[in-house]
Amino acid sequence: MKRNSARHLLLLVILFGCLISIILSLSLGSVKIPFDDVITILLGGEGEKSTWTNIVIQFRLPKVITALLAGAALAVSGLQMQTLFQNPLADPYILGISSGASLGVSLVVLATGTTGTLLLAGIGFFGDLSIALAACLGSALVLFLVLFVSRNARNTTTMLLIGLMIGYVTSAIVSVLIYFSLPEKIHTYLSWTFGSFGGVTWSQIRIFVPVILLGLLIAMGLSKSLNALLLGEHYAQSMGLHIKHTRMLTILSSSLLAGITTAFCGPIGFLGIAVPHISRMIFDSNDHKFLIPAVTILGALIAVVSDIIAQLPGHQQVLPINVVTSLIGVPVVLWVLLHRQRGNR
């Protein structure tokens, strides 16, 4: 009972940290806006300067919403992958799911023939919708391939290598498509691959938010089934769990979460692998009924904090978000590898 109370208290602390990070993200940047003005603008008032209202509402607020949802989506998708594959190093980026989404995006973008400062600029609502659909289908296709090819894999390392190889193949196809595209598009595509939460517009958020929420809702509904999978497939079947049904729903949820995030934010690494491990460590729990909400909130917090760091407050330059997430994720991956090595001795 005490442990559960401590966990819920810690979850509330992280949630409070999320709220603080949102205010900081809206306030800090190349133009610093006072906290009280940010609150006033969010409540429907006007800031001391009219430009501040425009900056907060049109640029920073969509970026914060995107970061919150993208961080939550990648973290939950990573948690599902680690449970489904029984592999602590599985996540959408490493298994090539993000590469599959990138392939879907590339096919649609090249077909539209658009150019601009953003990869997805000027394609309209239905163009954004087709991008989202293509990315989710690309993610699902790669995930199905990984599951199909790895059916006879007897160890987790082989499974990871299969995922990496499929990811390399999809990346190679994307490279061929980009090679034959316009020079401007090559530049914007390369910028897109670095990852960013700042390129999502209010129009795109109308697609982004419902898809993420649907993916999270499916994941929450699978919490009991994922707990059963932790005990092994044979034991889960003996408990009456429909393995194929669970796999299909997990693939659907992960594909929606990883696909839509990759489509609008670019392929973002390490959040999917790092956040579930950090959550297990600080909450000391493997129960998905608690872990899914926990990684959702923690993933959102880490994504917003990463974005604040990437903005280099007070400077005009902006770091690629993957630079920051790598600095956070790599130590976690190394810790997992060393921990497993000690456990095998």
Count structural domains, the chain.
Answer: 1
pLDDT confidence of residue 117: 37
State which of 75-79, 167-171, 172-176, 193-197 shows the largest mean pLDDT. 75-79
C-alpha distance from residue 1 to each of 5, 24, 97, 291 (Å)? 6, 35, 39, 17
pTM: 0.88
pLDDT confidence of residue 340: 61
Instruction: Please report, as a single letter, which amino acid is at residue 190.
Output: L
Kindly tell me if the per-residue pLDDT of 92 is higher than 60. yes
Q: What's 11's domain CATH number?
A: 1.10.3470.10
**Mean pLDDT (the chain, rounded):** 83
Q: What is the pLDDT of residues 12-35, one digit of tens each?
A: 999 999 999 999 999 988 888 888
Write the CB contacts of 161 (distance below 8 Å, at least 6 apart in sequence). Answer: none
Kindly tell me if the per-residue pLDDT of 114 is higher than 50. no
How does DSSP assign 21-75, residue by residue?
HHHHHHH-SSS---HHHHHHHHTT---SSHHHHHIIIIIIHHHHHHHHHHHHHHH
Q: What is the pLDDT of residues 149-179, one digit of tens each?
A: 766 665 666 777 777 788 788 888 888 877 7
Work out the number of other CB atoms within 10 angstroms of the CB of residue 126. 8
Q: Give the Cα separation of 329 and 79 in Å (integer).
A: 14
> Which structural domain range is residue 168 located in?
2-343
Work out the number of other CB atoms within 10 angstroms of the CB of residue 186. 13
Mean pLDDT confidence for 223-237: 83
Q: Give the Cα separation of 145 and 251 in Å (integer).
A: 11
- Main-chain phi, psi angles of 121, to 5 degrees: -70, 140
pLDDT confidence of residue 118: 47
pLDDT confidence of residue 337: 73
Residue 115's pLDDT band (boundaries 50, 70, 90)? very low
* Contact present, 219 and 95 (Cβ < 8 Å): no
Mean pLDDT confidence for 187-199: 78
